[in-house]
Each structure stands twice: as structure tokens, then as C-alpha cells.
């Protein structure tokens, strides 16, 4: 600052005093607000950066809110999945250890029924009004109620009815699994499927070491197998094995053994006096054996198949049902409608991966997928197998009860164990846990980034109290000196000394 002559109008001096005063006021504002400037202009060349930093900080805040919210959802989902996993394991243990066969069947069914109720309850878990297992339809319950699923809802058929209809279709009116036996000649026996249909036993193959007998087939459509004893009598101990395909994709073998005993044991036929008598005995044994097999293994396979159809459905694809009535002569499946059949899964049914039904960006470069559908393979398999046991008709007076429950238990045990490579509840738990881990590490990263960004922002727009304090002190000294000098300058006028 140039030194002005003492007596010229001291405009500049007064101006600089005013400037210092304004500076003082600004420093006081900085001290009280902690902000360097009240306008962007005053922030200096980093003002643009401060806008970016604020926007990044706000975005991180938003991402962290999302992470917290998703975490709540995932924790609830994990709790549900853990519960379902436990139920699955208990049921598997019960079934595999024979707890559901013969006389135990009824109590096992009661266990299955309560387990199913629990499973359905867990699948309808909500997090803040949001159904976790409904895919995108988060406002819809994931699954129907226990009562509707098992017993149906008015005009809409439930699982029990579907199993029942399928059993009729598979067993046929004669109870022989839709096979018919006949004697084309007095010395031969023919077994044939009654129609081309997906129901009942399907003749897979036949192998025989019956001496003198001619075994042919399966041939034709509907397929048939014939056993001709015209060439002579079989020897005792000779066997014929019929390989039968079942509705659930499994197979079973029926082996008939020739014997000289009369009456013959189970699955044995007596070699008669003539080949015609042998043929008649053979037909009679075959009929009895098929009847017993149909009442046990076929019935179990039929229930599994009906249950599979029921649980493979969603709102876009209602369950496949037996075309009928009459059901015992049905030859085809037909698609049910939402009006005549209960659809167990009421959430959103898409073909895309279930995880992708809920996605959220938790970082500018990271999107997590954490959706789930109750009809995912792992969950569906569990519910389906438990529900089958819960819904089949177990009658203590059924002569085939023991074999039927054994066949059913074996199938349910296999189903609950799951095929290798097939999704299980644990797989879903693991996937969601992976997401949780990712989110936890992203959140840690966010905390560090936030700290850095805040630090930078503070450097740009914030002030250090110490620095401001020091500046105020310096300024105060300068102002005092200036004011004193100004006062002295005004005193220094020649006028005073004349």
C-alpha cells in the first residue's frame, strides 16, 4: 500500500479500514458456520470438485441405505430358508429311517402335514410388507394356504383330488394298471396296454428263460407281450421278468417263477398237467401280481407324478390334469385352469433366473441380485415331496398298505435328497449369503471412501478453527494498528499547531 500524504482526503485509508472490517465479519462467519464461503464463487477453483464430492457422498449414502434395507430382507430370507432346510432334513430322516412305512404311515403323514403348514408359512415371509419369495410380485403372497393346496378351494381342485384322479387313471377300473390280460389260444397268454395313454404300467421289456415257451414283445401300439406255452412245459425255477415303466419315470420289474408247488407262492405259477393248464395258472398269477404291484408301486409313482404336475404349475401354466371324468379310462392329460385347479405358487412366474427378480445397485459398478421365487427347483422339490406325503390317501385297511408306503417313502426320500446337480435349499442359502458378503465388503469400502471424500470436501469448503482464529488475531492487530495510525494522522494537522 502506498503511503498517502497525510492531509489529502484519506479515502483510500478509510476504504481499507472498511475492507478489513468486512474481512473480519467474514472470518467471524467462517468460525461460526465452519464453512469457507457462503457462495460457490468463494470456494476457489475446487468448487466444481466440491459439487462432485457432494454428489458422490449423497450417492454413497443412498447405496448404504439400500444395502441396509436389502440386508434386512436377506436376513429374513435366510431365517426362512434355514427353517425350511431343517424341516427338509427332519422329513428326510423320518422317511429314510422307515418312519413312514406300514403302521407308522399315519403318524408320519401327520408330521408331513404340519411340516407342510410350516413350509408354506415360511414361504410367505414378509419383510416390510414385501413377500420375499414371490419374485417381482412382491405384493402377492408367494403360496396358497395349506387348506387350499391340500383340499382345494370350492370349485378349484387341490392336491388330494389330483392324486386321486391320477390314481384312478393309472390303476384303471380293473386295478391292473391299465393292462389287460387275455388268452389268444388256450396255451398262450397275452398282456397288453389298454390304450395309448400316459397312464398305468407301460410295457418296457420282457426277458424270459422259460423252457419251451415262446415269449414275444413288447410290440405294437398299444404295446403287448405274449407268452406261448404251445411248445411244451417250462421247468420249475424258470423265470419270466416283465420290466414295467411307471408314470413318475421310474421302472419296476415283475418276475414270475415256474413252480411245481400248488398252491404257488407269491409271484409263482404252478406248472399244470397240460400246457393249457400252465397257461391258465400263469395268467392267474400274472393278474394277482399285477394287481398287487399296481396297488403299491404304481400307486406311489402315480401320486408322485400327480404331485409333480401340481407343483410344476404357476399362474401362467395351471397344472396338467387327467382328462375326465371318467378318469379310469382316460387316455390323455389336459391343462387345468385357474378356475378349476388351485395354483400353489401365486407369485410372479418368469422364465428368467429367480435372483434377477430383485436387483439393486449398491455401488456405481455393482448390482446385486437377491430375488427368490417359491417355485425355484430347490424350494419346489421340498414342498412337493412333503406335500405328497401329506396328501396321499393312507388307509389302514389297504391290503397293499405296507408295500405302497414303502414305495412312496423310497420315492419321497429320493426326492428330498435331490438329484445330483439339482438346486437345493442350501444352494439358495449359499447364493444369498454370497450376496450378503459382497454387500458387507462394499459397505466397508463405502465407509472408507466416504471418509476420504469428506476429508477432501472439508479441505475445499471447510475451515480450520485454528487457522481462522490465527487470521482473526492477525487481522485484529492490523486493524488496531491501522485505526490508531488513522487517528494519529487526523491529529497531525498544522491547524493544531498554529
Partner 1 sequence: MSLTQALNTALSGLNAAQTSVSIVAGNIANAQTPGYVRKVAVLTQNSVGTAGASVQVSAINRVLDQFVQTQLRTESAGAAYTDARAKLYDQLQDVYGTPNSTSTLESSFNTFTTALQGLSTSPDDATAQSAVLAAAQQFAQQLNTMSAGVQGLRQQAELAISDDVTQANNCLQQIAQLNQQLSAAGQDPSAAALSDQRDNYIDQLSKLMDIRVINSGNNQVTVLTTSGVELCGAKASTLSFDAQGVVTPQAQWNADPTKRTIGTVTLTSPNGTSTDLVANGALRSGEIAGFLDMRDNTLVQAQGQLDQLAAAMSSALSDTTTAGTAATSGAQSGFDVDVGGLQAGNTVSITYTDTATNTQKQITLMRVDDPSVLPLSNSATNNPNDTVVGIDFSGGMASVISQINTALGATGMTASNPSGTTLRILDDGAANTVDVNAVSTTTTATGLTGGVALPFFTDGSNPYTGAITATGAESVGLAGRIAVNQSLISDPSKLVAYTSGVAAGDSTRPDFLYNQMVNATLTYSPSAGIGTSGAPFSASAGTYLRQIISVQGANAANADSLKQGQDVVLSSLQSRFDAGSGVSIDQEMSDLLTLQNTYAANARVMSTIKDMLTSLMQLGL
Judged by DSSP in three states, 15 sits in: helix
Q: Are strands 214-219 and 239-245 parallel, antiparallel or unpaired?
A: unpaired
Rounded distance between C-alpha atoms, residue 464 and residue 471, angstroms: 11
50 vs 124, beta carbon nearer partner 1: 50
50 vs 259, beta carbon nearer partner 1: 50
Q: Tell me how many residues contact partner 1 (CB under 8 A).
A: 60
Q: Which of 57-65, 117-125, 303-311, 376-384 is the region at the interface with partner 1 (rule: CB under 8 A)?
A: 57-65
**What would the x/- binding string for partner 1 be over residues 330 to 349, using CB under 8 A?**
------------------x-
Nearest CA among 13, 38, 41, 15 for reference residue 27 = 38
Q: Rounded to 5 degrees, what angle do the CA atoms 67, 69, 70 make?
A: 65
69 vs 195, beta carbon nearer partner 1: 69
Binding residue (CB under 8 A) for partner 1 from 254, 389, 457, 468: 457
138 vs 307, beta carbon nearer partner 1: 138
489 binds partner 1 (CB under 8 A): no
Residue-wise DSSP of 44-102: GGGHHHHHHHHHHHHHHHHHHHHHHHHHHHHHHHHHHHHHHHHHHHHHHHHHHTTTTSG
Rounded distance between C-alpha atoms, residue 75 and residue 450, angstroms: 25
55 binds partner 1 (CB under 8 A): yes
14 vs 433, beta carbon nearer partner 1: 14
Interactions with partner 1, residue window 79-138 (CB under 8 A) = 128-130, 134-138
H or E element in which residue 308 lies: helix 299-311
Q: Are 425 and 385 in contact (CB under 8 A)?
A: no
Q: Which of 42-50, 105-113, 156-164, 235-243 is the region at the interface with partner 1 (rule: CB under 8 A)?
A: 42-50
**What would the x/- binding string for partner 1 be over residues 147 to 186, using CB under 8 A?**
----------------------------------------
Kindly state the smallest distance separating residue 159's Cβ from partner 1, in Å: 26
Q: Which residues contact 115 (CB under 8 A, 6 or more apart)?
A: 87, 90, 91, 386, 390
Q: Are 98 and 104 in contact (CB under 8 A)?
A: yes
Kindly state the smallest distance separating residue 445's Cβ from partner 1, in Å: 17
Q: Is the dihedral of CA 382, 383, 384, 387 positive or negative?
A: positive
Q: Which of 153-161, 219-227, 385-393, 490-498 is the region at the interface with partner 1 (rule: CB under 8 A)?
A: 490-498
498 binds partner 1 (CB under 8 A): yes
Q: Are 272 and 179 in contact (CB under 8 A)?
A: no
Residues engaged in binding partner 1 (CB under 8 A)? 2, 4-9, 11-12, 15, 35, 37-45, 47-48, 50-52, 54-55, 58-59, 61-63, 65-66, 69-70, 128-130, 134-140, 348, 357-361, 364, 371, 457, 461, 493-495, 498
Amino acid at each position: 500500500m502506498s503511503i498517502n500524504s497525510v492531509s489529502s482526503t484519506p479515502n483510500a485509508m478509510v476504504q481499507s479500514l472498511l475492507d478489513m472490517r468486512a474481512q473480519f465479519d467474514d472470518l467471524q462467519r467462517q468460525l461460526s458456520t465452519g464453512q469457507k464461503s457462503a457462495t460457490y464463487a468463494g470456494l476457489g477453483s475446487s468448487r466444481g470438485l466440491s459439487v462432485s464430492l457432494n454428489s458422490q457422498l449423497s450417492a454413497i449414502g443412498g447405496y448404504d441405505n439400500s444395502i441396509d434395507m436389502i440386508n434386512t430382507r436377506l436376513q429374513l430370507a435366510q431365517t426362512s430358508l434355514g427353517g425350511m432346510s431343517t424341516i427338509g432334513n427332519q422329513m428326510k430322516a423320518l422317511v429314510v429311517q422307515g418312519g413312514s412305512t406300514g403302521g407308522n404311515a399315519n403318524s408320519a403323514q401327520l408330521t408331513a402335514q404340519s411340516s407342510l403348514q410350516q413350509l408354506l408359512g415360511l414361504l410367505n415371509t414378509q419383510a416390510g410388507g414385501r413377500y420375499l419369495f414371490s419374485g417381482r410380485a412382491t405384493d402377492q403372497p408367494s403360496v396358497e394356504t395349506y387348506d387350499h393346496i391340500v383340499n382345494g378351494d370350492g370349485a378349484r381342485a387341490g392336491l388330494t383330488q389330483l392324486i386321486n384322479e391320477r390314481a384312478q387313471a393309472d390303476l384303471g377300473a380293473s386295478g391292473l394298471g391299465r393292462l389287460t390280460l387275455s388268452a389268444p389260444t388256450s396255451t398262450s397268454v397275452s398282456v397288453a396296454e389298454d390304450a395309448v395313454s400316459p397312464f398305468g404300467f407301460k410295457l418296457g421289456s420282457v426277458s424270459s428263460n422259460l423252457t419251451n415257451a415262446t415269449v414275444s414283445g413288447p410290440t405294437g401300439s398299444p404295446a403287448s407281450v405274449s407268452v406261448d406255452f404251445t411248445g411244451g412245459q417250462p421247468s420249475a425255477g424258470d423265470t419270466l421278468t416283465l420290466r414295467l415303466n411307471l408314470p413318475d419315470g421310474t421302472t419296476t420289474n415283475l418276475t414270475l417263477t415256474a413252480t411245481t408247488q400248488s398252491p404257488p407262492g407269491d409271484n409263482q405259477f404252478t406248472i399244470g398237467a397240460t400246457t393249457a393248464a400252465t397257461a391258465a395258472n400263469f395268467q392267474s398269477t400274472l393278474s394277482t401280481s399285477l394287481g398287487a404291484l399296481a396297488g403299491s408301486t404304481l400307486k406311489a409313482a402315480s401320486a408322485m407324478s400327480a404331485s409333480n404336475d401340481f407343483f410344476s404349475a404357476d399362474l401362467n401354466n395351471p397344472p396338467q390334469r387327467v382328462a375326465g371324468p371318467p378318469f379310469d379310462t382316460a387316455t390323455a392329460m389336459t391343462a387345468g385352469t385357474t378356475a378349476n385347479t388351485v395354483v400353489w405358487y401365486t407369485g410372479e412366474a418368469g422364465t428368467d433366473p429367480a435372483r434377477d427378480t430383485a436387483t439393486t445397485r449398491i455401488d456405481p459398478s455393482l448390482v446385486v441380485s437377491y430375488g427368490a421365487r417359491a417355485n425355484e427347483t430347490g424350494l419346489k422339490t421340498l414342498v412337493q415331496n412333503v406335500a405328497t406325503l401329506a396328501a396321499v390317501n393312507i388307509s389302514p385297511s389297504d391290503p397293499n398298505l405296507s408295500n405302497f408306503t414303502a414305495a412312496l417313502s423310497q420315492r419321497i426320500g429320493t426326492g428330498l435328497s435331490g438329484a445330483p446337480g439339482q438346486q437345493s435349499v442350501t444352494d439358495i442359502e449359499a447364493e444369498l449369503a454370497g450376496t450378503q458378503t459382497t454387500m458387507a465388503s462394499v459397505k466397508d469400502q463405502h465407509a472408507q471412501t466416504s471418509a476420504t471424500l469428506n476429508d477432501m470436501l472439508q479441505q475445499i469448503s471447510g475451515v480450520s478453527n485454528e487457522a481462522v482464529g490465527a487470521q482473526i488475531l492477525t487481522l485484529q492487530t492490523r486493524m488496531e494498528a491501522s485505526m490508531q495510525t488513522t487517528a494519529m494522522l487526523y491529529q497531525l494537522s498544522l491547524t493544531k499547531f498554529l
